[in-house]
A and B are shown apart, each in its own frame.
Chain A
Amino acid sequence: MTHGVEQMHELAIAKSIIELAKNEALEHRLEQITEIGVRVGALSGINCDALRFSLDALVVDTSLEGMKLIIDELPAKGICLKCNHEHVMGDFIEECPVCKGLAWKILQGEELELVHVSGVDKEENKQH
């Protein structure tokens, strides 16, 4: 069984992003991808620097070289199940600053999504 060397999971995630973006470009008839936007929650387990590094490394000498990557980093947000206090957390779960509770309903922070793909439209390209 052969699998590529992937020292960090951001590399695997970066590969998935590229694959997904290429499929979307094909579907939307975009000839070249100039920019992609992703949304990464603080609880998703993704290090954004490592993700950026991986994507940069993967697109060198490909048609995607020079592509812009926009990362929308979302902080973790939760509602305390004890006192209903809404709180923005760091990248791991904290005590509720109001009641010291530890049980949260997570409202935001688990996202790992491709938001948009920008590129040159095939049809338009022909006219110019």
Chain B
Amino acid sequence: MSEKKTVEKKILSRNDKIAAELRQRFRDNNVKVLNLLSSPGSGKTSLLEVTIQRLQGEIDLAVIAGDVQTENDALRLRNAGGKAVIPIETRGACHLDAAMVRNAVEQVQLDQTELLFIENVGNLVCPAGFDLGEDMKVVLVSTTEGDDKPLKYPAMFKRAGAMVITKTDLLGLSDFDIDRAIRNARALNQDLQILKLSCKSGEGMDQWYDWITGLLPLKPNNES
């Protein structure tokens, strides 16, 4: 006799459970965690390179860098001066999951870290559903992409806490309408924080550094 049993459970409940454990560990160690997400080529690694160069020494930074194949991104970040850069090579997988991050975190000295960046695999579809225990998902959109990107990937933009528009030095060279991009993103997520910057021209970078520093608990003598 066949029996039908009602389950009603989230399919990613195992991932969510590991993510919740990670989140607790990060909190216990006072580590802020940002999960960086975007399409390939939006500038996640470039943004992290300049951020490491600027904030290393001021903030204790660590980076977990996901890459489908090769450890090229992690190498770039180490060359930029990153002291704690842990690569995750997903070997074809299009996203990071919480178990991968848990493995990588073993190599991070959490008690000596204030801010941990997780550079996700370049992809706007798959990583959206995978909680990694981060404080915030930060989604990057470059001015060489479509300004309707938020509408096409609603799952990602709804879950993000901040949107960073990159490559603003190229505004005007493509059909990207920055106001429309912001309106589209805010339509999905009224509380979304928005930053605009260019790693190349330096425009908006001070606001980015201030924003990051503002996420961290205040240190005595923290005048910048």
Query: A residues touching B (Cβ–Cβ < 8 Å)?
Result: 1-9, 12-13, 16-17, 19-21, 24, 28, 30, 34-35, 38, 43-45, 92-94, 101-104, 106, 110, 112-121, 124, 128
Contact = CB atoms under 8 A, between A and B. Distances in A.
A124 B1 contact: yes
A120 B129 contact: no
B193 to A, nearest CB: 17
Interface string B103-147: 110000000000000000000011011000000000000000000
27 contacts: A1-B88, A1-B104, A4-B91, A5-B93, A9-B94, A9-B95, A12-B95, A16-B15, A17-B11, A20-B14, A24-B7, A24-B9, A45-B125, A45-B128, A45-B129, A92-B151, A93-B150, A102-B184, A110-B158, A114-B11, A115-B7, A116-B4, A118-B2, A118-B3, A119-B3, A120-B3, A124-B3
A9 B188 contact: no
B1 A121 contact: yes
A8 to B, nearest CB: 6
Contact of B187 (A12, A103, A112): A103
B219 interface: no
A96 B167 CA distance: 31
Interface residues of B, number: 45
B151 A9 contact: no
Given A3-B93, A8-B94, A45-B125, A117 B5 contact: yes
B154 A93 contact: yes
Contacts of A19: 14
B128 A16 contact: no
Contacts of B173: none
A120 B153 CA distance: 40
B60 interface: no
Contacts of A93: 150-151, 154, 187-188
